[in-house]
Amino acid sequence: MLSDHATFPQPSPRVARRAVRRKGLTIPWAPEVVFSFLAILGLTLVSLLGAKGVLLFLLSGMALIVTNPDGTLRGMRREWLLIVMALWCLVSLAWSDYPALSLRYGIQLGLTVMIAIAICQRITPQALIKIVLLSYGIAGLLSLASGRARSGGMGFLGIYGSKNSLAFAMGVLLLVSLAVLLDRRMPRLWRGLALPGAGLGAMLMVMGNSTGALVAIAASIATLMPIMVLHRMKANARVVVIVLAAVLAVSMAVMLSTMADDLALAFLNTTGKDVTLTGRTDLWHVAFGEIMQRPFLGTGFQAFWVQGNPRAEELWAEFGISTRGGFNFHNTLISNAVEIGLVGVALQAVVFFSAVYFSLVWAVRSPSAASLFLALLMVREVMLMGVEVVFFFQFGVDTILMVAALYYGRNFRLMTGSRTMARI
């Protein structure tokens, strides 16, 4: 059903010899796979392990870097725009309202990006998918076992601090499980693990009661059909269909804009949200005011939602955020523009939408567990970016997976381009 996994270089004979074979099943235990698993697992369970999870990520990630520094440098040179984006966040300390915090978080983001590149440079996409399935499967089981929920039936929490965090994490489990199930080339063991993984992810998402996460995951899963249809078409036919689909989408957007009020009221009545989508429009008004004051540079990387910042304190008080933390402007581009300005947001947008493009091209041309998962994940992030902040965070698995979508998707494009040139 899906294409061969040989799109990417296979592990070297030395690495292959370090695999344990049992009844035809190859279980890789190469150090790079182990370190990558520990790094991603540490961040997946950071809500439970706290600083210990971050430490596990850093130690494992640095082990990947120091055991192959030349490869990591090559990967960083190739993905230079990622590095420029991270550096912009770091150098924002020069004009930040809280330079010490911008320095700290900028260094952390830079390390996260470097380790993400090292992971992609050292392991295959198929190994990454297995690691993600295991890590989020463990997180799902621990969440179910915890039994934690908000009072009054306001949503299940599991090991996470909020129902949205649970829903977003279990959305990853659902997507990776579906991608593995659809790939008949995956070993039976992994497809066997993916089946309960899909059920667990879906169940916990529903228990989390996060409307936005459910809508986004449904939209990303709906993308599977167009991907598979486009895969069966010839290149010229794909171009025609995509152009026609774009024209249709624009026409529908124009038509729906004339019914925006009616549609908004129907959505609000269905979901129980208030007219301002839980205050988001009020937050956006404040954010635009902040952007107008410092449009190009912003307040500094993660230097707005800081205790002691008068404007942040006002908003926390207005929205009843007693913890004075864990809040944002509920829109990725708007929120990040406040902190790193229009220049920084432009860099992030180019990186993000490049990852969307390359992952979708990869999935259409060579659907596999890895390509489908990363493409569907990026579609989910596109759906959420209008109401949540989805990129780029230090010590976040989402950041690593976005880097993977960009790195592996570009790698596929480069390899297929080389083959085309060779045939010419």
pLDDT in tens, 37-50: 999 999 999 999 99
pLDDT at residue number 30:
87
| Rounded Cα gap, residues 357 and 372, in angstroms | 13
Q: Alpha-carbon distance 378 to 370, whole Å?
A: 12
> What are the C-alpha distances in Å from 69 to residues 62, 119, 324, 395, 406?
10, 12, 41, 21, 21
Q: pLDDT value at position 261?
A: 52
Q: Which has more pLDDT, 255 or 119?
A: 119
pLDDT band for 127, please (50, 70, 90 cuts).
Answer: very high
Per residue in 291-308, pLDDT (tens digit) is: 999 999 999 999 999 999
Over 50: is that where the pLDDT of 421 sits?
no
User: What are the residues whose beta carbons fall under 8 Å from the beta carbon of 126, sequence distance 6 or more?
Assistant: 5, 186, 368, 369, 370
Query: What pLDDT is recorded for position 272?
Result: 53
Cβ neighbors of 288 (< 8 A, separation 6 or more) are: 334
Q: Is the pLDDT of residue 62 over 70?
A: yes
Residue 266: pLDDT band (50, 70, 90) is low
391-398: average pLDDT: 94
Which of 16-20, 182-186, 242-246 comes out lowest in average pLDDT? 16-20
Q: What's the rounded Cα separation, in Å, for the pair 264 and 258?
A: 11
Instruction: Give the pLDDT confidence score for residue 15 in this predicted structure.
Output: 46
Mean pLDDT throughout 263-292?
69
- What is the pTM for the complete model shown? 0.89
Lowest mean pLDDT among 126-130, 244-248, 276-280: 276-280
What pLDDT does residue 46 have?
96
pLDDT above 70 as % of the chain: 83
Give the angle subtended at the CA of 145 by the CAs of 140 and 146, to the nearest 5°: 100
In this prediction, residues 33-62 reach a mean pLDDT of 97
Q: Is the pLDDT of residue 12 over 50?
A: no
